A and B are shown apart, each in its own frame.
Chain A
Amino acid sequence: MLIPVGFEYLKPKNLAELDEAVRDGAFLISGGTVGVRLLKERIVRPKLVVDISEVEEAQGAKQGEGIVDLGAALKIYQLQRLSVNGPVSDMIRFVSSGIADPAIRTMGSLGGNIALADPSNELPVPLMLADASLLIYGQHRFHEEKIRGFIHGPHRTGLKPGEVIVRVRYKELDGYRWSYKKHFIRNLDHYVGISGAMAKVDSGKIIDLRLVVAGEAIMGFKYLAPERAIGARPSEAIIKEVAEEAVSGISPKSDRQGPSEYKVAVLKKLVELSVKEALGA
């Protein structure tokens, strides 16, 4: 079956070619794992599809002076094999290995995973924990934006029409421990809950604790840095307090994935498990 509405297709090799290619109403794809489905279902009906998967400025990974710099066109399977070091990079490798299935990981890209801002997209979790920056290009200029401010809500970001994420940069968090937990009902379905935690503990005291929760239970991404934990000793009480804070004010809708209270309970448990593991408690 042909996709119902026809379009032109261009595949720029670099940002200069992208400038020439992009025009009003163009729709960008990289791997196309979600974009092609949006085209099939006529959720988007562009006149032009621009494939940015081979833009040379968005390729490759490098590390220098504590900063890791990833091309947004990197495929998820390439992230599984990243040859950069540090706890954030370890977490990205782990998260990537659990995304969807081997075929989706061959096709899907880092940039697509961030730009979609679907609450079940997983790569924003370690990147928000690391306070990563996005190098964005559009209208002949670059600008940088922190990923924590870039994702405004489910499927809503700071990207303007025609803008592309070119690179993703973060500082490694040496001395941190991390943990990542998620829960789903069916393979390849949306996640009920996701919880990622990073912590630094020194001489038995918490120096830093960061948490990102996502998934259907929260319908978005929430970053928390529970201040009351700082300086405290890791304990069951602290873990429970952080979990309470993470789920406070959320009221997911009941649907085929389960009732609202179930989703809240799942997320709470995931937070407890991940915070406990990150604290080494």
Chain B
Amino acid sequence: MKVTININGKDYSADVEPRMTLVDFIRDVAGLKGTHVGCETGHCGACSVLIDGRPVKSCLMLAVQANGKRITTIEGIGKDGGPNEVQMALSSSKALQCAFCSTGFVVVGTWALEENGELTEDVIKESFIGNVCRCTGYEPIIKALRGVRKND
């Protein structure tokens, strides 16, 4: 089935089988490997991307469901050609070790910052309920992101 998905401002068209998930389209058709695959059940958040500005778990969506939609992956996140506030906060506080989970945290964190203007502890805890980190641990991530504000 022919699908066209706009990823980070660029249209990717391909003839795909309906049984292909969105995360596979992103990684294998568009060749964007920053979106990771962890649990495949919707629990870990490694595969998080934005659709029309809101987070989704791309392992639980078929590529055909996303036909015609506008998607932002980790490769499309940043500011003025550099890291955005969330990326800056995580990297400067070294709140990442293996970084397998980090692209998901950055995608969801970027949405949460856009939505709330500031990452308070409550906003962080509520926004990242569906993101799992198995090595850095949550305290360093919360500490790094607490108080981050949107600078326009």
Contacts and interface: CB of A to CB of B under 8 A. Distances in A.
Interface of A: 1-9, 11, 29, 32-33, 36-37, 39-40, 49, 51, 53, 77, 100-104, 106-107, 187-188
Contacts of B112: 102
Contacts of B45: 101, 103
Given A2-B24, A100-B130, A106-B56, A51 B65 contact: yes
B111 A6 contact: no
Q: Which 4 A-B pairs give the minimum distances between C-beta atoms? A: A101-B130, A9-B18, A3-B19, A103-B55
A103 B48 contact: yes
9 contacts: A1-B21, A2-B24, A4-B19, A5-B19, A33-B57, A37-B42, A100-B129, A101-B127, A106-B55
A76 to B, nearest CB: 11
A53 B51 CA distance: 15
Contact of B57 (A2, A7, A77, A104): A104
A108 to B, nearest CB: 9
Interface string B49-93: 001001111001110110000000000000000000000000000
B19 A39 contact: yes
A9 B45 CA distance: 26
A187 B19 contact: no
B40 interface: yes
Contact of A188 (B51, B127, B130): B130
Interface in B121-152: 126-131
A105 B20 CA distance: 22
Contacts of A103: 42, 45, 48, 54-57, 108, 130
Contacts, number: 92
A4 B21 CA distance: 11
B61 A36 contact: yes
Contact of B18 (A40, A49, A107): A49
B1 interface: yes
Contacts of B43: 188
B6 to A, nearest CB: 17
Interface of B: 1, 17-21, 24, 40-43, 45, 48, 51, 54-57, 60-62, 64-65, 108, 111-112, 126-131
A107 to B, nearest CB: 5
A106 B108 CA distance: 12
Given A3-B19, A36-B60, A36-B62, A106 B51 contact: yes
Given A1-B24, A37-B42, A7 B18 contact: yes
Contacts of A6: 17-19
A37 B62 CA distance: 11
B42 A188 contact: yes
Nearest to B55: A103
B129 A187 contact: yes
B60 A33 contact: yes
A103 to B, nearest CB: 4
B19 A101 contact: no
Contacts of A7: 18-19
A101 B108 CA distance: 10
A8 to B, nearest CB: 6
Given A7-B18, A9-B18, A32 B60 contact: yes
A103 B21 CA distance: 16
A8 B18 contact: yes
B14 to A, nearest CB: 14
Given A4-B19, A103-B45, 12 more contacts: A3-B20, A7-B18, A32-B60, A32-B65, A33-B57, A33-B60, A101-B128, A101-B131, A102-B112, A103-B57, A187-B130, A188-B129
Q: Which of A1, A4, A7 has the most CB of B within 10 A?
A: A1
